[in-house]
Every structure is written in structure tokens, then in C-alpha cells.
Chain A
Amino acid sequence: MLMFGLYSAGLCLVKGLNQTNMDNRFAFGLWIFLDLTVIALGAGAFFTGFLLYILKVKELGAVINSAVVIGLVCYSGAVAALLVDVGQPLRFWFTFWYPNVHSMLTEVTFCITCYLTVLLIEYVPIVLRNRRLRQVPSFLIFEFELHKLVYVLAGVGTFLSFFHQGSLGGLFGVLRGHPFAFREGLAVWPSTFFLFVLSAAAAGPSFILLTTWLVSKISNRQLVRPEVLPLLGRISGMLMIAYVLAKTVDTLIWINHTSPGAGVPAWQYYSWKPFGTWILFAEIVAFGLIPALVLLTPRLRLRSNWLVSAAALTCIGIALNRFVMTLQTLALPTLSFDPFLSYFPSWQETGTFLGVVGFGVLVYSFSFRYLNLFPQERDLEQPEAAPVREPALAGRY
């Protein structure tokens, strides 16, 4: 999978982006959509860190390491995909050298790069807990020092990711040219900015919940105390409900005010098959409200299959939202005489992304194998970890 990914990415880099099925209308394709999704799901890292270190929700200590690794995996993957996505990767540093401070993308790039480094630093102590490394005294000292830092890091991390999650939303909220995506701003940011933050925060815990559950199923070991997952669920649920409310309000404002203001009655967007109003319904109710309610109902929450499926729904809901923001926005015609277009990724695009996924799975499973991702695991005195089977994990996204 990794090899295939590298090959397709190589094709795109050497032969150019003509290898993809993107075109002048679909300037963004599979990659951007999935990057957004992945980053949203990776948000678990910052938010758990936030809860644990800043709000002192101690129970989450059980999953923080795993969360950090997931965050690292998601972000590094996304960045890798982005480097293939741009036409001139050699010029990536221009953004730092000649930044355009008004551009959401600049904000995104800055925050993501910084946050990636933060994640790396947060990753170090986890690595250092590895038994063999612990034999080196100087590393031990280093780790100790680092531990004092971790609160700062968590703080910084939260701040950073808060911003870029938002800016990612802003990316499309500012598209004045696309009434379908354009939203009025609160302060300097369009409403999507805050919606994205909220949704990411909501999806993050759910995703951690999912992975933890999945890993424990695969390695059939109990990794965390039974109350941790429901807790994650509850957090996710609360945020989700908040998000759904906010989203509804925003949508109403948009339908009745923003969009008509730009000269387009909102119904027009949904007159294009297959994007009927059902997509709006699915986004807000089916994959928003319902899981949120499930997660907030204690009885259901305690049943693992309800819990897990609700979490899954949440993640899907977020993915759907990102899909709508990226691809549907571009698919909808703006001029009366241009057509509604559809787009299907080429195998090179898919391949590249699969490669990223493969990389993620690899990193995660190695960390799981050699590092102590779930501190409680040892307290629950389980037998020594069996090596994780790669493919079994592959279906995570």
C-alpha cells in the first residue's frame, strides 16, 4: 500500500498534476477533502490534551498518548498529501517568506506546521518511555525536563489547532465567489470558522474512542478502564449537540439572508442531482443530532455497540460536512451558463492517499507495539502485547 502510494505520488510529482482528475473547475479534489476530514479527526489530540492538562480531566490520561500519536499521524499525513497537491512543492517556503496575512490558507499553513512540531515534541516523551531508551540517563533527565513543559505544549497546541481548524473552515467561508459556501463573519472570521472548530472538537474524541475500541478488539486486550470510553462519548456528544445547534442557526441565517443577498435563492443549490436537500438533512440530523442524542443518553452510552456506532456516525457526519464544503461547493455552477460538473478521482489520486493512510497505520501500529500508548494497560495486567496485524487496521478511515 505504501509502495503504491509512493509510486502514485511520484507520478504526480514528476509528470505533474495532469495525472489527477482535477481540472480548472475542480481545483480541489479528493486530497483536500480528505485532508480536511483527517485533520478534523486528528483534532482529538489537541482537545484531549486541552481537557487533560488544562481542565484536569484526569481520566483522559488513559488515552492521551494514543491521542497524540493519532494527531501526529493525521497531521503529518495531511501535510504530505498537501505537498503532492500543490503544483510547485519547491516553493512551499514562499508562504513563510512572503506571507499574505489576509489569506486563510496562510493561517492554516503556519498553524499546521507549528502544531506538527508541537505534536512531535509531545511525541518524544512517549518514545522516551520505551524501556530500552530509559537506560540512557541523559534521556531520562531530558524527559523529566520535558514533562514540565507538557502543560505549556498542551496550551500552545490547543491554541494553534483551534486556529487552524477554524481557518480550514474559513477557507470556504470566505469564498465570496461561491454563495453556497460564503458565510458572513463574526469579527474577522466567517461563521464556518467556529463551526469547524466545534465540529472538529466534537469529532476528535469520537475518533479516539473508535480507534481505542478498534485496537482493543484487534489485539483483544482491555486497554483502558471501562469508564473511559463512555466519558469520551459524553464529551463528544455534548460538543456535537452544541455544533448541531450552531450549524442549524448558521444554516438558517444563510438560507434566509446571506445566500439571497448574493442573488442566489438557496433552493437552487439543491436543484442539482444528486445533491438534494437530503444531504443537508443527513449532515445535520442523521449524522449530527441522532449520534449526539445517543451519546448523551447514559443508558445507550454504556452499551458498547451503541456507543461505538454513535461515535462512527459522528465521524461520518464530520466527513460529510467537509465533503459538502469542498467538493459540492466546486461542483455547483456559479454562472447561469456553466454546467454542473462531477468529478471522480483518478487512481493516482486515490493511490497517493492510500499511501498516506498506510503510512499512518504503520506509524500507529509501531507506536502501539513498541511504545506505551495506553498507560492503564499495564495496570490492568495484560500479557505482553502481540504484534499488531497491519491489514486488520487498514480499514480505519
Chain B
Amino acid sequence: MKATRRDLFKFAAGGATGLLLTPAPWRLVTDAALWSENWPGIPKPVRGELRTRFTHCALCPAGCAVKARCVGDQPISLIGLPGKPLCAFGLMGHQLPYHAGRVRQADADAVRAVIAKRAANETVAVLDLRPGRTASWTYRRAMAALPRGVYLAARSSVPAVNLDAVKIILSLGVPVLDGWGTPSNVQQARSHFRLIQAEPAESRTALLADQWLKIRPGTELELVEALATGRGGAGTGLNEKVIASVANELVQAGALFLAAEESPSVLELNRKLGAVGKTIVAQREAPVPRSWKPAPVTPINSVPERSIGVLLIDESAADSYVPWSKLEGKLAPDALVVTFASSQAGYGRQAKHLLPTAVYPESTGDIPPAIDSPLATFRLTTPLVAPPRGVVNPAQFIGGLAAIDAADALRERAGAIHAAGRGSVCTYADGRSIPVEDIQPDQFWKALNDGACWIDEPGGKLLPPVLRASTPAVVALNWEKRAARGPMPPLVSKLYQESNLRVRI
């Protein structure tokens, strides 16, 4: 006999009923829901033992102490020390290595060969965007060793500001409260200085300043002239009364500091108002080995036009930059420009070769004393994660050009500091501060690597800085400008994109 269609229906019906009495359908429904908990694309955080490690933040010259919470060896979050907090960007530092726009590969050897060939009979110049590091010394030694080496620093003179003495600050567009100096210092000093911000844009510093002079773009220097001479200033868009009152305030204030991008007239006014030597003092550097023979710091303006054959730019740590227009003229027609950077955003556009560098917190190096620290300091950035293969260490690369082995430069300098026997070393793990003469050189070195800071002893009077008034306008990088010029940690989207908190200026 043959099954009719109706029988099939019945069969199916029976099947359905039967199936309902088994776990299968219910389990499938449950599993589908569970699957939605970890369907593809949801990462699983790595579990492991939590450890704490210390280093210094290399994102800006403040070089804040960093306490890293790590799973195994991988940092998962950064935090400052008690009373010495990190800024928003420092808190994201550990994500910088994973920035999407990062350059990873380049044929360093080929570039080295080319440079070596040209270095024989052409002028080689190094542009250092964060002077005062041990790496900077390596550059200067290398340039001294090369037949025609020139060492250019973004800032020809690095003055320090004695915030304790400051009573009033007139800032010409300098992000005093947002990426300038050491956050904790500025925070503490803020209570006893008055801040007048002259800036066209509605920056955070402008918002938080005691007074905001909303001047027309590019009229900073006109304002300075007006303040100095008591005449003019109409171009700034401010009325005379305001300018006069500000000028008056500046004169009245016992100790003031005029923050601005380097320019002759600003320095002049600073001298005139008596800031120099009182609040603007000479930056002190940590001792260096006597054997190091550095090339002098050449102001960019005094470099002859079209003279540079090979220009090497170290962008790996940049606090400020020289506008390309200022550099272009100095280059020989067929000049070779090589930049050391982690992304194309900076000089990468103009350079012929871009050699990828490690980024914080992969990089090993030291941070020069912050602009608001009149005392010499020595702080290492010890890498928290291993840099990817194929990155170049600029100091060792450039040192290599002059047959200088810079691999141990940091340790040599630490040795020199220890030999000088001044100052003390503060270790972060236990918060203790030990005079240098009380510990052995290798202990000193170990302490520095495990997270410690060497600070010179306060003694000695603050010397007035050596100021050269002949450098081009160097642009200080506030966080907005940094975001535009270099890679930023992916999570800055929270600040710039997913909220109205910060706006790119």
C-alpha cells in the first residue's frame, strides 16, 4: 500500500510532537541566546596575575611618573602616583602602540648606506624636536664627529620657569593649563598666580584663565609690541583700555612670566619686565660623561640657505616643531630628508624616507627636565612592552653614522650622574628618597630602571638663562596640535569624537 499525502502530514505532525518532548528544541533556543554572548568579534580579555610596574610618560616633556597595572607583562591601565596625577592622554599611553596609522616597516640598511655615502662630502643636519635628552647628546656627538655635521634644536634655548615665584602669567596662546609643564605642579601653583590668556581660539586654557583676551589670529606679537610700547594694538581687536590695564598689571606684578613661542620681542619684553632671572631661569641639565664631545647647538636661522645636504629629523618624541616653510629654504636642491617617526602625520609628508620608531611605552630613553622644573632631573622611560620588529632607534642609527655606539649611552650618563654624587634618587615603589652617594652605581642604575627619578639638590642660585633671540617661530604642541600631527591613542575618540568636551583647533 502507498502512503498518501495525508499520511505524510500525520507523520510530520507526530515527529513535531515527539520532538517537543525532547531537550533538543529547547536546548537550541537556549544555545542561540548563549551564542549571542560570545559570537565572533567579541574579544576575550587575557587573564593572569596582576603586577605593578613603573616608568615615566614620554608623551610630553612633563615626563610624569607612571604606575602601570599589568596582566603578566602586558599593561592594561596606567595611573599616576599619589599627588602626581596623569593627564587624560597619559592615561591612554599604553594603547599608543596599537594605533592604526602606525608605520612599521622600512629598509633601514638601504637608507643608512645612502646617508653614509652622502655624509662624506655634504652637510648633514639633525633636527632634534626634544632637546636635552641623552639621545640629543648622542646626536651632538655624532654631528661633532662627522666632517660637516650640524645639530639643530627646535628650541635653541630651553629656559626653565620657576612657578613658585610666578605671580602672573600672560600667555600668548601657550596651553599653560593643557599640556604645558607638569600637570601637578601647575595645579598646585595655580592658586597663587593669575593667568591672562591671549588667544584667538576658545582653548581650554582660555576658558580656565582668569582673563581671556580674544585677539585676532596672528596678532600675538602686535599685542606684545603694544604692551611694551603702550602704543598701537588696534589690530588685535582689543580696545586700548584692556591693553593698558593688562600692561599695567604686568608692570605691577612683582614676578611674572610671559609664556610664548620664542621670538625676539617676547624675550625683550620679558627682560624689560624683569621676568628673566626671576621666573625665567636657566634650565639645568644632568651631568654627562666628560668623554662626550658635543657639537654646538646651531640656531636654525644661522644655517646658510640651501646648504643642508642630508636632514635627519627625530620626531620620535616631539614637544614642538619647526614649520616646514622655515626648513625648506635651508635645504640643498637635491637634499635628502629622512625622518624618524611612528606615523606619516608629521614631516613624513615631506621626507624622502620615513624610518619607523618605537613609541611610548615601547621606547627606551630619558626625558629632559620639564619646563617648570628649575632643577636638573634624570628620568628613564623603561619599556613596558616590546617594540615590534623592524623599528629603528634614532639615537643608535645616527650615532652609528659617526661610528658612535649609543647603546649604553643612558647607562654611561647614569654613571656620570652617580659619579657627580649630587642630588638624590626617589624610588616610586616604596616612595623613598635616597641620597645618591649612599648607593652603588649598579643599584642606582637598577633603581632608575625599576621606576625612580634622580633630582639634583636645590642648592645654588638660579641663573638667568642664555637666550638667543634669533630663532624662527617654533610651534609648541598642545594636545589638539599633537592629535593633528602624530598618532594618538585610539581612545581619544572619547574626547574629540564621542563627546563635545574637546574640539580640534
Contacts and interface: CB of A to CB of B under 8 A. Distances in A.
B46 interface: no
Nearest to A136: B6
Contacts of B29: 93
B36 to A, nearest CB: 5
Interface in B17-44: 29, 32-33, 35-36
Contacts of A88: 33, 36
B28 to A, nearest CB: 11
B380 to A, nearest CB: 43
A37 B33 CA distance: 30
Nearest to A339: B500
A90 interface: yes
Contacts of A102: none
Contacts of A94: 33
B501 to A, nearest CB: 13
B50 to A, nearest CB: 32
Interface in A84-133: 88, 90-91, 93-94
Contacts of B33: 88, 90-91, 93-94
A199 to B, nearest CB: 36
A23 to B, nearest CB: 11
B464 to A, nearest CB: 48
A94 B33 CA distance: 9
Contacts of A93: 29, 33
What is the predominant secondary structure among interface residues of chain A facing chain B?
Answer: helix
A90 to B, nearest CB: 5
Contacts, number: 11
A88 B35 CA distance: 11
Interface residues of B, number: 5
Contacts of A90: 32-33, 35-36
Contacts of B36: 88, 90-91
Contacts of A91: 33, 36
Nearest to A93: B29
Contacts of B35: 90
Interface string B212-241: 000000000000000000000000000000
B191 to A, nearest CB: 28
A76 B36 CA distance: 25
B26 to A, nearest CB: 10
Interface string A55-93: 000000000000000000000000000000000101101
A93 B25 CA distance: 13
A275 B36 CA distance: 40
Residue picked from A88, A90, A91, A93, most chain B C-beta under 10 Å = A90
A88 B32 CA distance: 11
Interface in B32-86: 32-33, 35-36
A88 B37 CA distance: 10
A135 to B, nearest CB: 14
B251 to A, nearest CB: 40
A88 B36 CA distance: 8
A93 B36 CA distance: 13
A92 to B, nearest CB: 9
A91 B34 CA distance: 9
A93 B28 CA distance: 13
A184 to B, nearest CB: 36
A91 B31 CA distance: 10
Contacts of B32: 90
A93 B30 CA distance: 9
A87 B29 CA distance: 17
Interface string A266-297: 00000000000000000000000000000000
A94 B35 CA distance: 14
Interface in A370-397: none
A160 to B, nearest CB: 24
A94 B30 CA distance: 10
B352 to A, nearest CB: 41
A15 to B, nearest CB: 12
Nearest to B36: A90
A91 B32 CA distance: 8
Interface string A243-259: 00000000000000000
Interface string B135-158: 000000000000000000000000
Nearest to A92: B33
Nearest to B34: A90
A184 B29 CA distance: 40
B153 to A, nearest CB: 46
A220 to B, nearest CB: 40
Interface string B435-475: 00000000000000000000000000000000000000000
Nearest to B39: A90
B211 to A, nearest CB: 24
A88 B39 CA distance: 12
A88 B33 CA distance: 8
A326 B36 CA distance: 29
A183 to B, nearest CB: 33
Nearest to B26: A93
A90 B35 CA distance: 9
B38 to A, nearest CB: 13
A138 B413 CA distance: 100
B235 to A, nearest CB: 36
B353 to A, nearest CB: 40
Nearest to B32: A90
A98 to B, nearest CB: 11
A91 B29 CA distance: 9
A93 B29 CA distance: 9
A234 B445 CA distance: 95
5 contacts: A88-B36, A90-B32, A90-B36, A91-B33, A93-B33
Given A88-B36, A90-B33, A94-B33, 8 more contacts: A88-B33, A90-B32, A90-B35, A90-B36, A91-B33, A91-B36, A93-B29, A93-B33
Top 7 nearest A-B pairs by Cβ distance?
A90-B32, A90-B36, A91-B33, A90-B33, A88-B36, A91-B36, A93-B29
